[in-house]
Amino acid sequence: MHVSNHARPTLEDVAARAGVSRATASRVLNASPRVSPEALEAVNAAVLALGYQPNRAARALVTRRTGAVAVVFSEPEPKIFDDPHFARLIRAGARALADADVQMVLMLVHSPDDQARAHRFLAGGHVDGALMFAPHRNDELVAVVKKLPLPVVYAGKPWGSLRGMHLVDNDNEGGAVLATEHLKSLGRRKIVHVSGPLDELSSIDRLNGFKSALGLDDKGALKVTEDGGFTREGGRKAMAALLAKVPSLDAVFVASDLMAAGALEALQEAGRRVPEDVAVVGFDDHVAIAEHTSPPLTSVRQDSDSQVKHMVEHLMKLLRDETVKSKKQMLPTVLVRRESA
């Protein structure tokens, strides 16, 4: 068979060169699992030999696929740009989607106008699916997106019923137990907690792990807990408040590394040595923070790259109509020891 140098190779050309039907060639190019290894190899070889480039616009008309996925952060913009955790998530999403040959569409949603715009966009057929980061209570976008005929995978548990929802979460409660048990193992007896905002389930899970490890009820936890809002300044203020509330404290579990950096500043300002006077454990094991605090921070590692990679893999299976073994995946957390505890 001869293909003109000036003619753009077609799907029929690929099928003919591979010795398969047009339908089989189409299934291979659309990443269908219903093809034999031999057909997959033959079609891919033909694509390379002919320099075939699929017409994405034409394919979209037939498959109703855009080749794009929305990554939606329902958070205030200052939080997204001030917390390096979000940069890590965005970078991981871009990398994982690029590996899947899918274009990432980043959406930052906070105000009611943002939410209305996001709803119109997601309902308008502009993307094939979405990865949702929407942790806050009373986030109306979650309820809106639930009603759309759009495959969605959530980062962590959104509020409300999880029935029929797909999500990938980290073991926040188990990680908090690890952190608190470690502080207990060091002989610390006055352990306090800087929590994240309690309109986020990850913060509540970490608080519950702390309470569980110490055998505290809600009333007891209230005496030794301050909300640091997942910000550095919030962590500093919460630590200062705890020093005033529990002057004899000798350890603190902080629900994020960013807040822990602020807590370390407050301890230094108060003349408390770390770890001699107060042992400190954070959460995230963020590469830009944990190794660079003074002293370096013991922290619970949640692998954000792995979480996003699992979310993308999960979404790709939904888009290929493959069976997903579990709609809800829980990833493990581990304690990484450094000098602060």
The CATH number of whichever domain residue 91 belongs to comes to: 3.40.50.2300
What confidence score (pLDDT) does residue 297 get?
98
Comparing 142-146, 225-229, 249-253, 258-262, the range with the smallest average pLDDT is 142-146
What confidence score (pLDDT) does residue 25 get?
87
Is residue 339 included in any domain, yes or no? no
Are residues 117 and 93 part of one domain?
Answer: yes
Are residues 227 and 212 part of one domain?
Answer: yes
Are residues 267 and 232 part of one domain?
Answer: yes
Is residue 2 included in any domain, yes or no? no
Structure token digits, residue 122: 């997601």
Comparing 92-101, 179-188, 237-246, the range with the smallest average pLDDT is 92-101
Are residues 195 and 157 part of one domain?
Answer: no
CATH number, domain of 31, equals: 1.10.260.40
Those residues whose C-beta lies under 8 Å from the C-beta of residue 165, and which sit 6 or more positions away, are 146, 152, 154, 158, 327, 328
Percent of the chain surpassing pLDDT 70: 94
What confidence score (pLDDT) does residue 262 get?
98
Is residue 55 scored above 90 in pLDDT? no
Is residue 153 included in any domain, yes or no? yes
Are residues 179 and 241 part of one domain?
Answer: yes
Are residues 84 and 103 part of one domain?
Answer: yes
Q: How many domains does the chain have?
A: 3
Per-residue pLDDT tens digits for 198-207: 999 999 999 9
pTM: 0.78
Q: Which of 2-16, 57-71, 286-300: highest mean pLDDT? A: 286-300
Is residue 47 included in any domain, yes or no? yes
Is residue 97 included in any domain, yes or no? yes
Are residues 46 and 123 part of one domain?
Answer: no
Is residue 86 scored above 90 in pLDDT? no
Query: CA 109, CA 87: separation in Å to the nearest integer?
Result: 16
**Integer CA distances (angstroms), 291 to 71, 89, 138, 178, 283, in order:** 29, 19, 35, 19, 13
Those residues whose C-beta lies under 8 Å from the C-beta of residue 187, and which sit 6 or more positions away, are none
What confidence score (pLDDT) does residue 3 get?
45
Is residue 144 scored above 80 in pLDDT? yes
Is residue 44 scored above 80 in pLDDT? yes
Per-residue pLDDT tens digits for 118-135: 888 888 888 999 999 988
Compute the Cα dihedral for 20, 25, 31, 32 and give only its sign. Answer: negative
Nearest to residue 191, comparing CAs of 213, 164, 218? 213
Is residue 120 included in any domain, yes or no? yes
Are residues 197 and 208 part of one domain?
Answer: yes
Is residue 130 included in any domain, yes or no? yes
Structure token digits, residue 304: 């954000």
What confidence score (pLDDT) does residue 23 get?
86
For residue 120, the enclosing domain spans: 68-170+305-332
Is residue 1 included in any domain, yes or no? no
Are residues 197 and 92 part of one domain?
Answer: no
Are residues 314 and 295 part of one domain?
Answer: no
Three-state DSSP class for residue 28: helix
Are residues 293 and 187 part of one domain?
Answer: yes
What confidence score (pLDDT) does residue 62 get?
47
